[in-house]
């Protein structure tokens, strides 16, 4: 009888240990999944805004030259309304795949929201400008297949750079201002903000492109595929 109770006790402890291991493993997987979802976009699998701001916070704290390229897809709403939400998601996923293929000095591509994407660049103005133009070209290079229809896509692209003295939020706002300026000049346009630690007109408040306001400074823009040059303004 004593041996039987000992055997039962060993079995019970073994089962308890197995259950505990399974529960811990499940909790770890859940935690990893939760962390992943907190920093990634569900539709495209790209890093999200939270991941971008976290990277910028670390990079700018270290004083590393950093650039942002912000892209807004032209006519995406029309494509989404015409061909449906699923086709719109397929298009966003393909755009994300194309942008992720851009190599150094681009660090990674992310989806901010809707049809807005961003490329984080490890470098100054020239490197960021090169990535911005590469992004515009790679999006417009070939149509995106949506089953029975090919979507010819382009993007309005703005970029900004920073060294010391600017926060990640302000750098995002500077890139947003530049992207709105690109929209003002027409579709498939690249526009760059001057490389400075204190961008003009940047501060708290609504996003500039939502307010439909102008900026004071900027670099020339280039339109794709016509390669039309716009002069600086202001």
Query: How many Å apart are CA 199 and CA 166, to the nearest integer?
Result: 9
How is residue 167 written in tokens? Answer: 């926060």
| Better-scored residue on pLDDT, 31 or 199 | 31
Mark whether 115 is an active-site residue: yes
Domain boundaries, the chain: 1-39, 45-230
What's the confidence (pLDDT) of residue 36?
Answer: 55
In tens, the pLDDT along 43-78 reads 999 999 999 999 999 999 888 899 999 999 998 888
- With bands split at pLDDT 50, 70 and 90, how would you rate the model's confidence at 148? confident
In tens, the pLDDT along 8-41 reads 666 667 767 777 677 666 656 656 555 655 788 9
- The CATH code of the domain at 45-230 is 3.30.70.270
How is residue 102 written in tokens? Answer: 């851009």
Q: Which of 41, 90, 115, 176 is catalytic?
A: 115
Label each residue of 75-89 as H, E or C: CHHHHHHHHCHHHHH
How is residue 19 written in tokens? Answer: 């259950």
What's the confidence (pLDDT) of residue 137?
Answer: 95
Query: How many Å apart are CA 115 and CA 143, to the nearest integer?
Result: 17
DSSP assignment, residue 147?
A: S
Among 172, 158, 167, 100, CA closest to 128: 158
Query: How many Å apart are CA 113 and CA 49, to the nearest integer?
Result: 8
Q: Who's near 76: CB < 8 A, 6+ residues apart? A: 88, 91, 114, 115, 153
In tens, the pLDDT along 209-228 reads 443 334 434 444 444 433 33
Query: How many Å apart are CA 148 and CA 89, to the nearest integer?
Result: 15
């Amino acid at each position: 009888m004593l041996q039987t109770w000992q055997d039962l006790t060993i079995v019970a402890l073994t089962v308890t240990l197995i259950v505990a291991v399974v529960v811990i493993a499940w909790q770890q997987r859940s935690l990893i999944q939760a962390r992943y979802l907190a920093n990634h976009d569900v539709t495209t699998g790209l890093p999200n805004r939270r991941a971008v701001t976290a990277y910028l916070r670390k990079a700018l704290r270290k004083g590393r030259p950093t650039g942002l390229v912000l892209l807004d897809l032209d006519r995406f709403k029309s494509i989404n309304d015409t061909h449906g939400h699923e086709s719109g998601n397929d298009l966003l996923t393909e755009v994300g795949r194309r942008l992720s293929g851009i190599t150094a000095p681009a660090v990674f591509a992310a989806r901010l929201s809707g049809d807005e994407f961003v490329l984080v660049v490890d470098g100054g103005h020239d490197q960021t400008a090169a990535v911005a133009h590469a992004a515009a070209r790679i999006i417009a290079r070939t149509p995106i297949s949506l089953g029975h229809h090919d979507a010819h896509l382009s993007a309005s692209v703005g970029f900004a750079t920073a060294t010391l003295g600017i926060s990640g939020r302000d750098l995002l706002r500077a890139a947003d201002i530049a992207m709105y300026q690109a929209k003002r000049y027409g579709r498939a346009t690249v526009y760059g903000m001057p490389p400075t630690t204190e961008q003009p007109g940047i501060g708290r408040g609504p996003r500039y492109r939502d307010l439909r306001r102008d900026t004071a400074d900027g670099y020339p823009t280039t339109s794709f595929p016509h390669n039309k040059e716009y002069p600086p303004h202001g």
